[in-house]
Amino acid sequence: MSSFFIDNGANELQTADIQSQPAVPLCPTMNDVPRLGDGECYHVFISFSSTDYQWTHSLIDQLESCGLQVCYHERDFTPGRTVLENMSDCIQESQKVLLVLSQEFVRSRWCLLEANMSLFRDCLERKPIVPVLLEPEVTVPLHLCHLTYLEADDPDFKNKLLKVLCTPNQQLQGSTVVPFQPPSIYNGKTLQPLIAVNDEGLNKWDCGQFSDMEVPDQLRLIIQDHEKYRKAVRMINSVSQNKVWFRPLWVRVVMYITGIIYFLILTVYSTFLTVIVVIDPFLHQRPSYPVGELVIIISSFYCVPVGLFIQIVLWMNGDVKYIVREMQRAVGQANIILYEEKVLMGCRSNSKIYLVYVSLDGCKQEFAETFSEQGCVEDMFQRALTFFSSGYASCLAKRHFPFPQPSSTGHLEGGVCFCQYVSQQLRTNQWE
C-alpha cells in the first residue's frame, strides 16, 4: 500500500515533488478535483473517533463544499453488514485514507482496525495514507509513526490537506509500507503505555497491577511469542505491596510498642503531677515537682502522637520510592525477555509502564566486543538490562535524557542508544 507521507528520509524529496506542482487554492474548482476511477465512489475515506465528531464533521463539510466526495462510517456504512465488511468496501472504494489521530482514536479498537486495514494490505488496492495529528500530545501508533503527518493547528492546514487530496494518486511519490520491515524506520519509537488495571483508587505506596490476559493491539504485530509478553507482565505483577509493608516490619513493631509505652508513662506521670498541683492549695505545701516540668511533660504528651504521625508519613514516602524501585527492577528483568522482540518497558511510577520499540542488536554486539576477554558477555548484558533498561526506555519514551546528547554516533540513528545510556549512567552510578 503506497503512502504519500513516508519515512523522514524521503520527506524532502516528497516536499519538493509537491511544491513543484501548482498550488491548489483554498476552495478548488471542479477541474482541480481528481476524477473518480472505476470502482471508486469517494475521494477520501475518513477514519475518526466519535469523541472528535465536531471537529471532523466541520472538516467534512468544508471538503464536500469544495466538491470532494467524502466517506465516513456514520453515513456511508451499509446497515445489516458487519463493521469489517463496511470498512473494507469503503476503503477500497476511496482514493485516499485520512486518519484523524487523537488520544481517543489511538485507544479505540475499531479505529486501530481501520488503520491496520488501510496500512497492512487488508485492502485489495493500495491507498495513500493522510494522517492528521489533532492533538500535539498524541502518541502516534507504531504502525503510523514513520509517516509524516499534517498538524491540525497548522495555520496552513486546509491548503496542505487540499493539495494532497486534489493530487491524483499516480502523481504522488511514495513507497510500499510494509509493517516493521527495516528496524531503522521504527527504531526508538514510542508505543502506547500500559496503564494499571487498579489505577483508580491506587495509593502511591501501592503496587499497580497490569493485565496479562490480552496482548495490547500495538504489540500483537511486534511480539511473535505472546507468552513472552504475559510472562514479562507477570514478573512485574509479582512485586507486591507486602514487600513495602513487611520490609521494615520488625523496626516498626519495636517503634510502635516503644511509643505506646512511652505514651502511657507520660500519661500517668502528667496526671500525677496535675493532681499534685490541683490539691496543693489544700495541702498548704509546695509541690515536690516544679510546674515547669509539668508543662514540659504535658507538651510531650501531645508531641508523641504528632511525632508518630510524622514518622508514619515518612515511612509511607519511603514506601513510595521503594515500590517504584522494586517495579523498576522487575521491569528490567522483564526486558531480558522482551528485548529480543525489539520491545523495552520503562517504569517511573507505580501505575504506568512505558513501551518503546527499539533494537539492541548493535548494543549487544558492543557489549560482546567490550567483555569478550572476560567471558561474561551475556551475564553483563543481562545485568545492564536489569539495572538500566527501565530508565533507558522511560527516557526514550519521554524523549528526554538526563545528560547532553553524546558526541559520538551510537546504534540508534538520531538518538541515544542503550550502550551509550549505560556508559553515561556508570559515570555517576555503580552497578547495583
Q: Give me the torsion for CA of 164, 168, 172, 174, rounded to 10°.
A: 100
Give the per-residue pLDDT at 428: 77
pLDDT the model gives residue 399: 86
What percentage of the chain carries pLDDT values higher than 90? 22
Phi, psi of 355 (to 5 degrees): -130, 135
Looking up cell 551509550 gives 420
How far apart CA 396 and CA 416 sit, in angstroms, is 8
Segment 253-267, tens digit of pLDDT? 666 676 667 666 666
Is 69 domain-assigned?
yes
Q: Which of 277, 275, 278, 274 is nearest to 297 (CA)?
A: 274
Q: Tell me, what's the pLDDT at 26? A: 52
Output the CA torsion 387→389→393→395 (10° steps): 50
Q: Residue 111: which residues within 8 A CB-CB, separation 6 or more? A: 47, 48, 49, 99, 105
Residue 311 is assigned to a structural domain of this protein? no
Q: Residues 173, 193: one domain? A: no
**Average pLDDT of the segment spanning 335-350:** 93
Instruction: Taking each helix axis as running N to C, give the angle between helix 291-338 and helix 249-283, from 0 to 180 degrees, rounded to the nearest 10.
Output: 170
What's the average model confidence in pLDDT over 37-53? 90
Q: Are residues 116 and 148 in the same domain?
A: yes
Mean pLDDT throughout 130-136? 86
175: containing domain: 2-179
Domain harbouring 92, CATH code? 3.40.50.10140
Asked if residue 148 and residue 105 are part of one domain, the reply reads yes
pLDDT per position as a tens digit, 79-124: 888 776 788 788 888 988 898 988 888 777 556 655 555 544 444 3
Mean pLDDT of the chain: 75
Q: How confident is the model at residue 7 (pLDDT cuts 50, 70, 90)?
A: very low
Q: Are 50 and 174 in the same domain? A: yes
Who's near 170: CB < 8 A, 6+ residues apart?
none
Contact between 188 and 357 under an 8 Å Cβ cutoff? The reply is yes
Domain count, the chain: 2
For the cut 50, the answer to whether the pLDDT of residue 5 exceeds it is no
Q: Is residue 251 scored above 90 in pLDDT?
A: no
Longest dimension (CA), the chain: 117
Residue 306 falls inside a structural domain: no
Average pLDDT over residues 62-72: 92
Please report, for residues 147, 218, 365, 399, 425, the alpha-carbon distance to residue 419 in angstroms, rounded to integers and kept in the order given.
28, 26, 10, 17, 10
Which pLDDT score, from 0 to 100, does residue 42 have?
94
**Residue 44's pLDDT band (boundaries 50, 70, 90)?**
very high
